[in-house]
């Protein structure tokens, strides 16, 4: 019997090549999309599950409740808090910290700018990263020790045994009278362990690990005692059976004592537990739970993205299944006699159901084979597009292979279920008498399936159009300053005086128009915060602070609205970032947003006294608002001041001529100032483009999904059009005999296929509006959801439907009615 079923199935596939091709090709496209989606979801949900003994390991995170601003959630915490929790909360059995720094490491005469994880000495005992060589208990016990990953050790030492080798680093935190001597000193770090390369599905990096007890740590003791700056990643191990919320509930006294005291020192009467709230995330959940957090070590994932992509993959598969079901149901009348004869000779309905489901599963398995071939072809490009090493090994990933096989079988059963039930229910006598199936509900089902196919395609098309339009709008938005032809040079490891000397030397090149120092630059996402208030008033305003040299505003062409800019010739135009009595009476600049929050116009703000971090300072100028984060964040209240000891970035504006030679001059000059330091540099414009890279990829993915969905729907509509026009030959012939013109026939058929597309628009538009309204809320500056986007995509879908059926309609409309009347 099985052989007979297989023979009949293969014969039907061969005899109806067009329908077979449409079914198999459509289902193969759907299955290929689902396989790619499954590979993505598997990768995203596998993050950090490889780490042993991590069930009780949590990352501590901070939400800062700022005066006059929305709460900000950060993946980092202040340095002292994890140690305080370990000492005072019994349920915390271990705690450790990590701070990632870019440090120039030297091996012989070679230099490497290397990301280094600066950690507590117990880090490898708490976060049990796999060591190839070395003991987790002792590898970081000595202050001047260093643990390298396998790849980093190979980069530094080749095939030599790295254990015991020496890596040198320039001495950091040079200040005082011995700066010149200090800058020439180096620190020797001994390699004490080699880490196995961490898999890419981890929120940790660990290329190089150094204890924070080393004098090579760039963080000063003052920074490590700071309770108000979340700069470190904190990890805790809880006792078995501990509720994380119970640990968080015991934090209030620690926060009131630590951050609270720091706030009182600044003259701010707010409890620490009101400023900070903490939360614990299981180690294996960090990647997918950190969307929207600031200061993530690696780009986070998102459950919303995972669920959304899974839903779209499922919808595309359903479109393919609907396509299959639609064509199989439409072809029911062509097999009416076959079914009737089989029933007359004794075939039961169960036998027929098994036969037709078997045919559907066979076609699904053929589609799966084609789908896997498509995946093999697309996987390298898919890998590069997502920037993730997504791979698929049929035998090594046998659970996934079985899941794909099962999915194909389920898709075949789902696709063939309704047709099997319809076909097996035909009445032999009725069919043999009139060669009709008598199934009036099948036509309505076909319309419903076409509507669903196009509804998904239209929704995805609208989403793709809006995403690309928003990205284009964000890139063209006026950010309030000039961003072109600016090179940013990181000068972390230079002393303040050396930074100023380097900036001055760079200005000697004829292609360098200006240089300036600052504590931050646009598009980094870094926001240093301060607190301001009017004298005698209790209301606090949280502001961004930008520490800069007087040349900064001119270099970026930020407009002066009122007053004057800071100048090197005015002694009071400097201000220490620390709260010290010497700040009293010194000068600052505000932006328009800060003046407006105090109720002043820019002109009224000039000469006013404000309290900044506990010191009374004077406002000497008001500058324009700028969008430091592009269109992602609104313009924020900002205070500008000059503190030569707190700047790290050198902005260099160039004229854009002979750029390679200018960059070479910048590199050579910076190397001359600090031979033991590797300077990072980049174009500000490149960082601006990176702001929207993730959303741009989302738009590309929507476009691809639209193409696939419309391709599958178009294949199905083509098959349905071919079948429908064939079955309406007699009707069309009669219409032509009674005077209908070819154009009337074409218009009739086009209208028939336009109705499902119009209904699909009615379904897709509100769903797309709801999704896009929430997506656009992630941008502070965004486009309006114009009805034109919806109408344009709906019209395009209608055009695709017309193009698909036009050929069939024209051919039938032009046919001689004599041949149509002879049909059947």
Question: Which stretch of 16-20, 233-237, 258-262 has the lowest confidence by average pLDDT?
Answer: 16-20
Residues 458 and 509 in one domain: no
Report which secondary-structure segment, H or E, holds 26: helix 17-44
DSSP alpha helices (H): ranges in 119-171? 123-126, 150-157
CA triplet 16, 22, 23: central angle to 5 degrees?
Answer: 85
Using the 8-state DSSP alphabet, how is residue 197 labeled? P
Given a cut of 70, is residue 695 above it in pLDDT? yes
Nearest CA among 265, 116, 260, 105 for reference residue 195: 116
Whether 177 shows a pLDDT value over 50: the answer reads no
Kindly state whether residues 382 and 468 are assigned to the same domain.
yes
Residue that has been written with the tokens 């014969």 in this structure: 11
CA distances from 378 to 359, 372, 385, 704 (A): 28, 10, 10, 12
Residues 715 and 324: beta-carbon distance below 8 Å: no
186-213 average pLDDT score: 93
Which of 635-639, 647-651, 779-783, 809-813 has the weakest average pLDDT?
809-813
Q: What is the pLDDT of residues 36-54, one digit of tens each?
A: 888 988 899 999 999 988 9
Q: Which domain holds residue 779?
A: 2-43+303-474+693-821
More confident site: 509 or 818: 509
Q: What is the pLDDT of residue 821?
A: 53
% of the chain exceeding 90 in pLDDT:
35
Which of the two residues, 128 and 428, has the higher pLDDT score?
A: 128
pLDDT at residue 392, as a whole number: 83
Cα 69 from Cα 515, distance rounded (Å)? 33
CA–CA gap between residue 737 and residue 818 (Å, rounded): 9
Same domain, 225 and 327: no
Contact yes or no for 52/128 (Cβ under 8 A): yes
Closest CA to 207 of 79, 121, 59, 101: 101
166 pLDDT band, cuts 50/70/90, is very high
Look up tokens 């300036």; give the residue: 516
CA dihedral 386, 388, 393, 399 (to 10 degrees): -90
Task: Flag whether pLDDT at 231 surpasses 60.
Answer: yes
* 748-788 residue pLDDT tens: 777 877 888 889 899 999 999 998 888 888 788 889 888 99
* β-strand partners of 189: 167
Give tens-digit pLDDT for 545-571.
Answer: 999 999 999 999 999 999 999 998 888
* Residue where a domain stops, chosen among 219, 243, 267: 243
Confidence of residue 577 (pLDDT cuts 50, 70, 90): confident
In the predicted model, what is the mean pLDDT of residues 785-801?
Answer: 88
pLDDT surpassing 90 at residue 537: no
Q: Is residue 633 part of a domain?
A: yes
Please give the pLDDT value at position 440: 45
Residues 459 and 507 in one domain: no
Pair 468, 426 in one domain? yes
**Residue 175, pLDDT above cutoff 60:** no
What is the torsion angle, in degrees rounded to the nearest 10, for the CA atoms of residue 497, residue 501, residue 502 and residue 503? 100
User: Phi-psi bin for 483: left (phi > 0), alpha (psi -120 to 50), beta?
Assistant: alpha
For residue 211, being part of any structural domain is answered with yes
Q: Is residue 604 predicted with pLDDT exceeding 70? A: yes
The reply to whether 267 falls in a domain is: no
Q: Compute the CA torsion angle 774, 776, 779, 783 (nearest 10 deg).
A: -150
344 lies in the same domain as 375: yes
Q: Averaged over 450-470, what is the pLDDT? A: 85
Q: What is the mean pLDDT of the chain?
A: 83
> Are 498 and 550 in the same domain?
yes
Tokens, residue 448: 């419903």
Mean pLDDT of the 521-542 span = 82
Sequence-ordered alpha helix ranges (H) in 646-741: 659-673, 684-690, 693-727, 729-737
| 68: in domain | no
Structure tokens at 430: 């009725």
Question: Other CB atoms closer than 10 Å to residue 451's CB: what's the count?
Answer: 21
Closest CA to 700 of 481, 484, 387: 387
Torsion of CA 374, 378, 383, 385, to 10 degrees: -130
Residues 792 and 656 in one domain: no
Among 589-598, 638-647, 714-723, 769-778, the minimum mean pLDDT is found in 714-723
- The strand ranges marked E within 196-304 are 208-211, 233-238, 276-282
Residue 134, domain member (yes or no): yes
**Residues 442, 329: contact at Cβ < 8 Å?**
yes
CB 582 within 8 A of CB 638: no
Q: Is residue 735 very low, low, confident or very high in pLDDT (cuts 50, 70, 90)?
A: low
Does residue 721 register a pLDDT over 80?
A: no
Instruction: Say which range, 225-239, 368-382, 439-453, 532-546, has the weakest mean pLDDT.
Output: 439-453
The residue from 626, 645, 678 where one domain ends is 678
pLDDT digits (tens, 9 = 90+) for 386-422: 877 888 888 878 888 898 899 888 888 877 777 677 6
Q: Are residue 728 and residue 783 in the same domain, yes or no?
A: yes
CB burial string 473-493: b at 16+ within 10 A, e below: ebeeeebbbebebbbbbbbbb
What whole-number percentage of the chain has pLDDT above 70? Answer: 84
Q: Is the dihedral of CA 236, 238, 242, 248 positive or negative?
A: negative
Q: Indicate whether 16 and 94 sit together in one domain.
A: no
**Is 332 contained in some domain?**
yes
- What the block records as the tokens of 298 is 């690696």
Indicate the angle between helix axes 729-737 and 693-727, nearest 10 degrees: 70
Residue 640 has pLDDT above 80, yes or no: yes
Residue 737, pLDDT > 70, answer no
Buried b (16+ CB within 10 A) or exposed e, 406-435: ebbeebbbbbbbbbbebbbebebeebeeee
Looking at the structure, tell me whether residues 582 and 543 fall in a common domain.
Answer: yes
Pick the last residue of a domain from 620, 650, 678.
678
Kind and range of the H or E run holding 79: helix 79-88
Predicted local distance difference test score (pLDDT) of residue 205: 92
Could you tell me which residue, 808 or 597, shows the higher pLDDT? 597
Residues 323 and 398 in one domain: yes
Give the predicted TM-score (pTM) of the model: 0.80
Q: Quote the pLDDT of residue 824.
A: 47
Return the closest-CA partner of residue 529 out of 483, 440, 594.
594
Distance CA 89, CA 81 (A): 11
Residue 55 counted as domain residue: no
> Are the beta carbons of 235 and 85 closer than 8 angstroms?
no
Q: Which helix (H) or strand (E) holds 356?
A: helix 349-386
In a domain, residue 525? The reply is: yes
Split into its structural domains, the chain has a count of 3
Q: Where are the alpha helices (DSSP H) in 425-545?
A: 428-434, 441-476, 496-506
What's 493-516 look like in SS3? CCCHHHHHHHHHHHCCCCCEEEEE
Adjacency order of strands within the sheet including 681-683: 512-518, 649-654, 486-490, 681-683
């Amino acid at each position: 019997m099985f052989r007979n079923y297989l023979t009949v199935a293969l014969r039907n596939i061969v005899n109806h090549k067009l329908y077979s091709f449409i079914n198999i090709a459509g289902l193969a496209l759907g299955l290929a999309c689902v396989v790619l989606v499954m590979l993505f979801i598997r990768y995203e949900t596998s993050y950090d599950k490889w780490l042993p003994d991590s069930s009780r390991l949590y990352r501590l995170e901070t939400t800062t409740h700022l005066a006059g601003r929305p709460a900000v959630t950060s993946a980092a915490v202040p340095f002292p808090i994890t140690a305080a929790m370990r000492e005072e909360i019994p349920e915390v059995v271990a705690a450790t910290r990590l701070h990632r720094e870019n440090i120039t490491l030297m091996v012989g005469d070679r230099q490497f700018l290397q990301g280094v994880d600066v950690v507590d000495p117990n880090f490898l005992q708490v976060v049990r990263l796999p060591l190839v060589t070395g003991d987790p208990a002792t590898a970081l016990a000595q202050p001047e020790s260093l643990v390298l990953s396998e790849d980093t050790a190979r980069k530094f030492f080749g095939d030599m045994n790295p254990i015991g080798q020496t890596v040198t680093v320039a001495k950091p935190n040079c200040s005082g009278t011995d700066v010149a001597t200090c800058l020439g000193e180096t620190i020797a770090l001994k390699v004490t362990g080699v880490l196995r390369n961490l898999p890419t599905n981890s929120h940790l990096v660990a290329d190089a690990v150094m204890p924070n007890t080393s004098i090579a740590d760039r963080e000063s003791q003052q920074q490590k005692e700071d309770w108000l700056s979340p700069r470190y990643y904190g990890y805790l191990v809880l006792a078995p059976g501990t509720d994380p919320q119970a640990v968080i509930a015991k934090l209030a006294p620690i926060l009131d004592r630590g951050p609270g005291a720091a706030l009182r020192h600044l003259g701010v009467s707010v409890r620490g537990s009101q400023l900070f709230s903490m939360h614990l995330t299981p180690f294996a959940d960090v990647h997918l739970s950190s969307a929207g957090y600031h200061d993530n070590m690696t780009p986070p994932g998102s459950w919303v993205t995972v669920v959304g992509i899974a839903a779209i993959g499922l919808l595309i598969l359903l479109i393919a299944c609907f396509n299959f079901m639609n064509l199989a149901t439409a072809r029911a009348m062509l097999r009416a006699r076959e079914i009737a004869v089989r029933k007359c000779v004794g075939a039961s309905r169960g036998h027929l159901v098994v036969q037709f489901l078997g045919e559907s599963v066979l076609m699904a398995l053929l589609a799966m084979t084609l789908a896997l071939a498509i995946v093999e072809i697309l996987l390298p490009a898919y890998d590069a597009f997502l920037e993730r090493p997504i791979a698929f090994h049929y035998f090594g990933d046998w659970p996934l292979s079985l899941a794909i096989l099962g999915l194909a079988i389920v898709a075949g059963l789902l696709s063939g279920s309704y047709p099997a039930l319809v076909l097996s229910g035909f009445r032999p006598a009725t069919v043999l008498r009139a060669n009709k199936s008598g199934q009036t509900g099948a036509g309505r089902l076909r319309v419903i399936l076409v509507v669903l196919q196009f509804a998904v395609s239209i929704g995805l098309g609208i989403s793709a159009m809006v995403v690309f339009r928003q990205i284009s709008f964000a890139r063209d938005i006026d950010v309030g300053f000039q961003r072109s032809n600016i090179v940013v040079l990181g000068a972390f490891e230079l002393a303040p005086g050396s930074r100023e000397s380097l900036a001055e030397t760079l200005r000697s090149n004829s292609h360098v128009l200006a240089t300036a120092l600052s504590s931050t630059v646009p598009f980094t996402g870094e926001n240093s915060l301060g607190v301001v208030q009017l004298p005698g008033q209790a209301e606090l305003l949280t502001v961004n602070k930008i520490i800069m040299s007087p040349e900064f505003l001119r270099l970026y062409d930020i407009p002066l609205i009122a007053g004057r800019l800071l100048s090197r010739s005015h002694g009071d135009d400097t201000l220490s970032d620390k709260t010290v009595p010497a700040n009293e009476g010194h000068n600052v600049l505000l932006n328009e947003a800060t003046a407006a929050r105090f109720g002043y116009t820019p002109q009224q703000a000039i000469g006013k006294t404000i309290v900044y971090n506990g010191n009374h300072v004077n406002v000497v100028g008001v500058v324009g608002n700028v969008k430091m984060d592009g269109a992602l964040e609104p313009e924020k209240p900002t205070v500008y001041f000059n503190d030569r000891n707190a700047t790290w970035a050198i902005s260099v504006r160039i004229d854009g001529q002979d750029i390679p030679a200018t960059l070479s001059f910048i590199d050579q000059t910076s190397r001359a100032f600090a031979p033991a330091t590797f300077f990072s540099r980049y174009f500000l414009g490149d960082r601006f483009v990176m702001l929207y890279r993730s959303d741009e990829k989302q738009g590309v993915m929507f476009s691809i999904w639209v193409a696939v969905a419309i391709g599958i729907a178009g294949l199905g509509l083509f098959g349905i059009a071919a079948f429908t026009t064939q079955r309406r030959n007699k009707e069309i012939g009669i219409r032509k005999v009674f005077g209908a013109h070819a154009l009337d026939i074409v218009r009739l058929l086009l209208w028939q296929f336009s109705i499902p597309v119009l209904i699909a628009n009615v379904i897709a538009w509100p769903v797309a509006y709801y999704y896009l309204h929430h997506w656009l809320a992630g941008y502070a500056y965004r486009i309006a959801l114009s009805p034109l986007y919806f109408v344009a995509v709906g019209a395009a879908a209608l055009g695709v439907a017309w193009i698909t059926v036009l050929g069939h309609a024209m051919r039938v409309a032009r046919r001689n009615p004599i041949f149509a009347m002879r049909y059947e």
